[in-house]
Amino acid sequence: MKRLLGGLILATSVIIATPGAHAARTSAERTAGSAWFEDHWIDLTVSWEQATACDVQPDLTICYRTEATMIAELAAARTATAFTTLAACSTSLRLYDGTTYTGTVLNLSTRATVLNLSVYGFDNLTSSYKVGGCDPDFYSSANLGGSLYTGSTGAGSQAPSMLSGWNNVVSSVYIY
């Protein structure tokens, strides 16, 4: 059973021993064969450098110096995933300190939890916003208390300024 599991892990990864010349690339030069190796990008179509094992994911390929390192890292990642609690929205809600989307920005994506803006140092600062892929509710007090913001906050909406009386008032947020 352990061998089968190991085989499954390896099946999702490409493992090849490849001595060769360095082929470090900048992020701007990333291509379809780009992979992250330790602290830089490499182009697998040119060279694997000292990497001998790669974990190929749809959005990112990460290579490792040894197969053992890769297996350990993947195991750690699975443990970390098990810790992950509330889901994240694919695109963030963006709150701006200034009107017309200026000033410091707080991006929020944690769904189904009470988001008190004071923990981000952003209490009573929101002057404009852009909603991501998930609907949010804005409240004037902490812990979803006070008044509920009645402006448009549906997914994809945005506002260069807040409704009258709501500038620098939002204290907590809930993202569906």
Residues found near another protein in the complex (CB under 8 A): 26-28, 30, 36, 39-41, 59-60, 76-77, 79-88, 92, 104-110, 112-116, 118-122, 135, 137, 143-145, 148, 174, 176
Q: Closer to another protein at the Cβ: 44 or 106?
A: 106
- The three-state secondary structure class of 13 is strand
Shorter beta-carbon distance to another protein: residue 19 or 121: 121
CB of 4: closest distance to another protein in angstroms?
Answer: 26
Q: Which is nearer to another protein, 4 or 150 (CB)?
A: 150
CA 38 to the chain's CA centroid: 20
Q: Which residues face 102 on adjacent strands?
A: 98
Closest distance of CB 41 from another protein, Å: 7
The kind and range of the H/E element at 74 are: helix 67-83
67's CB contacts (< 8 A; 6+ apart) are 15, 52, 53
